Structure 1
Amino acid sequence: MHRVLSALTGELDLFFGGKQMRAGMRATTSLLAVVALTFAVPGNAGAENRHGGTLRLAGLGDLDHFDTASAYTAVATMIQRAYTRQLVTHPTTDDPARAGALVADLAAEVPTVANGGISADGRTYTFRIRRGAKWDAPSGARQVTADDVVLGIKRVCNPVAGAGAPQYFTDTIAGMREFCDGFAQVAPETGAIARYLGGHEITGVRALGDRTVRFTLSAPVPDFLEILALGFSSPAPREYLRYLPDGPEFRQHTISDGPYRISSYTPGAEIVFTRNPAWDASADPVRRAHVDGIHVRLGVDRQEVVTLIDTGQADATWDVPVPPDRLAPLLANDDPRLRHADVGMMEPYLVINMLSPNENHATANLLVRQALQYGIDKAAAADIAGGAKIAHPSCQILGPANPAYRQYCPYATPGDHGDPAKARQLLAEAGYPNGLKLKMLHSDVPPQPAIAQSVRDSLARAGITVELVQVGIGDYYGKYLADSTYAREGAWDIVAPNWRPDWIVGANARSYFSPLFDSSGYSADSPNFGSNYGFYHNPRTDGLIHQALTAPDQATANTRFQEAERQILDDAAVVPMVTRDATFFVSARVRGAVRFPNARVDPANVRLAW
């Protein structure tokens, strides 16, 4: 009861206090929402056990991709829970320990060595597909088959809208790299894609009958089940061969094997989900499907999103974070509608462009990069990112919750405020006794401008003058960081992007080290460097990452990841700055808004008090 009373007091503080004062009707509605939350507790009028209603999500941007082969954002991961299924998945829970343990989804059971699903050498995984898992196919409900699983994996590297992290598959499944290399040469046309998919096989993915599928790996992969839990690994129905991957027609004909189907989609405006009549609750141990439908309202800025939720006109955030001015009072009052979770998110971390020609290739100099490590006031950046309750200064890539974590902080400073004197000393040793000038690229989306200004101000103390270059968020990632020409030409020297691992619980060190620091698939002349934006290149680091990814067991993998992290930090490749909790905001009528597996509302498992 204390927590609920605190929430009620917090809303009164918001109503009567200074900058957060709202107009009378809005404040009254907000107050009534919290009162409703106060009395809608377990055991009161059966509110917790009711089914039905429509879950209303609101946000700014459209879904990046409907197609599971290419969808690669946190919001896509959230909504895929409603209309897709995978062989294995993470459970919906508030318990981090339980969240890290994979459970069977389409598979009848999680394969292990003990049950015969994984071979003794760790290179073969066999799955039996659960009977009763069905597609909502145009011709009628149809069982999900092993061929559908094979087709889903094949489509990962299609030449139109392939996966954002194909290396998860090309580095693990036997024959996948060769299959994808061939696919890359195919014309981006429906007919050509269908012919290639029908005429070529992946050595390591085989359907053994209607409901048995076998994966053969090129080497043991301790986290292979985690890869199969990704949306990329979803099966695909044969009807998808009729459409260009994630094209306009595809988006109007997306087929569900989850509890909800897409009944209408208006680009940039709304997505409407209704119940999937082909879905059988007895064949799905993961999704409870309490609500009758899901409505996603698009094109709403984040200030309005929070207002809609605060006043009960929407139920949860879609893609936008809570603005800093709205977040602070919610945190201060421990408002139970604000949920947050440590998901190992680096937000931000500083990437150093190793190829920049500026200032006589200054950023290629280890001493200069070490000076940056000491120059930045991480505590100030953490305050901007959200403050002590959700943002913390960091000196490592991995956090304590990661099983591969081992404490290592080579550039510690008092109170995490930086050490300008040490930074100046290192600059002088590097040949820059009078300081140097660097360009920092940043997006126009808060808090990026404020973070950039903080970096500029803290580095100024060390004699480093930073020129800030602001660009739109689309150009930030889609142009300047995606095209390596800008790095080579010195359009930027430093950037402070965010990184969230592709799965936020369990053994996820791969999703930091493989995309961010493995340069083995690129050269300095490559058209892009993937997510290794500044082209950090060290063959020893690449080797350690490869050893970790092909280790015979997770303990060995963790040791190699620890060694790789130490090397990366010794090379001062990036400056870890802040680890920040993921946050999401829900209305007073939402129940079961737990933190895992996605640190967002699970639309297939929340309930509504109505």
Structure 2
Amino acid sequence: MSFNAVVKEGTFNPSTRRGGTLRLARTDDFDSLDPADTYYAYTWNFIRLLGRSLVGYVNGRSGVPELVPDLAESLGEASDDGRTWTYRLRRGVLFDDGTPVTSEDVRYAVLRSNFPGSVYGPEPEVVRGGPQYLAQYLTGPDGVEAPDPHTVVFRLKEPFAGFDYLAALPTTIPVRADRDTYPEERPGPDACGPYRTAEYVRGKLLRLERNPHWDAATDPIRTALPDEITVALGVSGEEVDRLLRSGEADIDLAGVGVQPETQDQLLADAGLRERVDNPHTGFVWLYCINSRIGPLADVHARRAVQYATDKLAMREAYGGEPAGDIATTLLPPGIHGYAPYDRYPVGPDATGDVEAARRELRLAGLPDGFETKIAARRDRRKEYNAALALSAALARVGIRAEVLPFSSGEYFNKVAGVPAYLREHGIGIVMFGWAADFPDGFGYLQQICDSRAIKSAGNQNLGELRSTRVDTLLDSGSRVTDADVRAGIWASVDRAAMDEAVMCPYMYVKSVIYRGSRVTNVRMSQAYGMYDYAVMGVEDASSED
């Protein structure tokens, strides 16, 4: 074994051994196990154990994830004009009660997630916190059809060259209408993957057991090695680290890395370092500056915040250099469309440009600064400490920013993703982390930059960016099939969005993650930027070959 073995070797401790219990731990609960209502990368990674979308991902040889058919027999068949996409379902895929999965189940899932009024009636009181790409591109509820039990047809308002990426979203995981529990919260998707929910005590425990009707012959993505998977929920970050080191847990589900104190101990101990991986995750840590709240409605006030930011101190809150590289662009290296750019230089040591910040405050008519509030997740202690570092840096130029703590489970569907809540409470800055919804510049930028993606709940355009130039560039890029031309457009979107100063990227993320001694078949998921839970196994005395 060696430090960063998973990154160096591709797959660490390969195995096909079945059996045992894989034990995961998490500092809070899932945002939601409903495939229509989740937007955390770790939930998207995990929920694949329960449900299957039309299309999925495997790791590609070039370091970019590869699209593969999952529930569908093949990738989508596009019409000549790019406005109609057809998928045919694999035969023999069953729900956990033995009922066949049909195209109507996929159609219903798409409607309830993207057009809930067509299922539940006008203006249903339901929060859908998941991605809304399909609502944006389909002609409407009539834009998804199930002409026979094995065929799903999508009709688009305009061509979209990368529609297979949208078919890989959790919102195409089938849902049976007769099992829909609306308005009650769902304990997970209707199981058509290798596992089903056996027990779920919100905030405490999730336990998965095998789906007796899952057939490995129909599934090119999942290995289903463990007999059971448990997730300890609502555990403090320090306790998660203790559970990992003591052997009482195998993996931290969130995949964001250990606490700073633990990180120092792991990296300083040669024996412990052998169980540590330090990959780039594809995430960017950033914060969003809401362009509709108080003084921050003025672009110069937002630019003052950008210049005053001490990115070095914020990185130190995550544990210093092993936590990542100082960021200056929205797109991270490794995403097609990334181009080096620094709109708001904060000095050679990345501690901020105080004079530039004061100049922008004068241009905003606020020479003495102003007051605002910062939202951060308290159970993500590194993020919370980074928010405190940001507040301290802003205070140097008279910007007084109080840090408000929230829990991860409520953060997006009740606080950060609800513009009305932010306005009501005067929260002008929101701590945030972002990775591509799918591995293309559009998949990274559209939800956080497109004015048409702003939603009353489940919103991801947290700065409420409204830019005709950005919207036009996104539209033009979505139609382009030439990858190099498309990459140039995404770089232009990045620059145009940064000029509006509604988002401040401060770190291209690397994680310091610890794997327990029992786990097998450990690899990074290129699509989700963390360990691939769909293939992981565990060594156990009861395991079988």
TM-score under structure 2 length normalisation: 0.86
Q: Indicate whether 1:514 and 2:446 are aligned.
A: yes
Match of 1:218 in 2: 157
Decide which structure has greater helix share. Answer: 1
- Consecutive unaligned residues in structure 1, runs of 5 or more: 8-40, 112-116, 180-201
Kept in 1, the 8 Å contact 2:418–2:459? The answer is: no
- Higher-Rg structure is 1
RMSD of Structure 2 on Structure 1 (CA): 2.9
- The answer to whether residue 108 in structure 2 is matched with residue 148 in structure 1 is no
**What is the distance in 1 between the residues matched to 2:423 and 2:17?**
58
- In the TM superposition, residue 309 of structure 1 has moved relative to its aligned partner by 1.7
Q: How far did 1:588 drift?
A: 0.7
Corresponding residue for residue 15 of structure 1: none
Aligned positions of 1:372-391 closer than 5 A: 372-391=305-324
What whole-Å deviation, never above 9, does each CA across 1:317-362 have from its counterpart, x for those lacking one? 1347522211233345572433343233222x232232333xxx3x
Residue aligning to 2:348:
414
The alpha-carbon distance between structure 1 residues 520 and 51, as it changes in their structure 2 partners (threshold 3 A), is closer
Match of 1:607 in 2: 537
Q: Structure 2 vs 1, CA of residues 496 and 244 (structure 1 numbering), >3 Å: closer, same or farther?
A: closer
Q: Which residue is equivalent to 1:491?
A: 426
Aligned in 2, Cα 1:552/1:51: closer, same or farther, shift over 3 Å? closer
Q: Tell me, in whole angstroms, the C-alpha distance in 2 between the residues paired with 1:511 and 1:552.
A: 15
| 2:9 aligned partner | none
Report the count of equivalent residues.
518
Equivalent residue number for residue 135 of structure 1: 95
Q: Residue type of the partner of 2:293?
A: S
Equivalence for 1:452:
387
Report the equivalent of 2:81: 121
Instruction: Report the residue type matching 2:497 in the other structure.
Output: I
Displacement of 1:167 after TM fit?
Answer: 2.9
AA aligned to 2:85 is Y
Q: How has the CA–CA distance of structure 1 residues 142 and 493 changed in structure 2, closer, same or farther, with 3 Å as cutoff?
A: closer
CA contact (8 A) 1:165 1:515 kept: no
Whether 1:470 aligns to 2:404 is yes
C-alpha distance after superposition, 1:272-326 (max 9, x if no partner): 2222111111111111111111122223222222212211112111347522211
Q: CA, structure 1 residues 402+587, in 2 after alignment: closer, same or farther (shift >3 Å)?
A: same
State the SS of the aligned residue for 1:214.
strand
Native 8 Å contact 1:452 1:468 kept in 2: no
1:567 to 481, 489, 496: 496
Structure 1 equivalent of residue 8 of structure 2: none
Checking the alignment, whether the CA contact within 8 Å between 1:501 and 1:512 is kept in structure 2 is: yes
- CA shift for structure 1 position 72: 2.7
Instruction: Give the share of equivalent positions with the same residue, in percent.
Output: 30
For 1:49 and 1:150, the matched residues in 2 are separated by 35
CA shift at 1:521, angstroms? Answer: 5.8
SS in 2 for 1:152: helix
1:54 and 2:21 are equivalent in the alignment:
yes
- CA 1:90–1:477: 2 relative to 1, 3 Å: closer
Shift of 1:152: 1.8
| Aligned partners of 1:48 and 1:609 also within 8 Å | no
Deviations 1:412-467 (A, max 9, x none): 2323222222333333344444x313323233341234223322333344x23323
From 116, 120, 139, the equivalent of 1:174 is 139
TM-score by length of 1: 0.77
Letter of the 1:346 counterpart: V
> Per the alignment, in what secondary structure is the counterpart of residue 595 of structure 1?
strand
Hey, what does 1:314 align to over in structure 2?
249
Letter in 1 for 2:311: K
Tell which deviates more after alignment, 80-89 or 313-322. Answer: 313-322
Given that 2:130 and 2:458 are in contact with CA atoms closer than 8 Å, whether structure 1 keeps it comes out as no
The one-letter code matched in structure 2 to 1:394 is A
TM-superposed deviation, 1:395: 0.9
Residue 598 of structure 1 aligns to a residue in which SS?
A: coil
Change (3 A) 1:336 1:215: farther
Q: Which residue of 2 aligns with 1:192?
A: none
SS at match of 1:451: helix
Are positions 1:100 and 2:41 aligned together?
Answer: no
The Cα of 1:130 is off from its aligned counterpart by 1.5
Structure 2 CA distance for partners of 1:264 and 1:356, relative to 1, 3 Å: closer
1:314–1:89 Cα change, 3 Å: same
Contact 2:73–2:88 under 8 Å retained in 1: yes
**Could you tell me how far apart the structure 1 residues matched to 2:201 and 2:303 are?**
50
SS of 1:97 mapped into structure 2:
coil
Aligned counterpart in structure 2 of residue 591 of structure 1, from 520, 524, 531 = 520
SS at match of 2:284: coil
Q: Give the whole-Å Cα distance in 2 for the aligned partners of 1:364 and 1:351.
A: 13
User: In the superposition, relative to structure 1, how do residues 403 and 172 fare at CA in structure 2: closer, same or farther (>3 Å)?
Assistant: same
SS at match of 1:147: helix
In structure 2, the CA distance between the partners of 1:162 and 1:340, relative to structure 1 (3 Å rule), is farther
Partner of 2:474, secondary structure, is helix
For 1:218-239, what per-residue CA distance to the aligned partner results, in whole angstroms no more than 9, with x for missing partners?
2221221111111111122343
Residue 50 of structure 1 and its aligned partner are, at CA, apart by 2.5
Of residues 276, 291, 298, the one that matches 1:354 is 291
Distance 1:79 1:528, change over 3 A: closer
1:337 corresponds, among 275, 284, 288, to 275
Residue type of the alignment partner of 1:213: V
Write the deviation string for residues 111-153 of structure 1: whole angstroms up to 9, x where unpaired.
Answer: 4xxxxx222322222222122222122xxx2332222222221
Per the alignment, residue 187 of structure 2 pairs with: 251
CA distance in 2, matches of 1:78, 1:393: 26
Query: Whose RCO is larger (CA < 8 A, sep 6+)?
Result: 2
Distance 1:343 1:135, change over 3 A: same
Q: 1:534-563: CA deviations, max 9, x gaps? A: 333222222222333344554444333222
The answer on whether the counterparts of 2:127 and 2:457 sit within 8 Å (CA) in structure 1 is: no
CA contact (8 A) 2:206 2:232 kept: yes
Matched to 1:519, the amino acid is: S
Would you tell me which structure has more strand in proportion to its own residues?
2
CA distance in 2, matches of 1:58, 1:528: 28
1:75 to 31, 35, 42: 42
Deviations 1:60-92 (A, max 9, x none): 33333232222332332132121111121011x
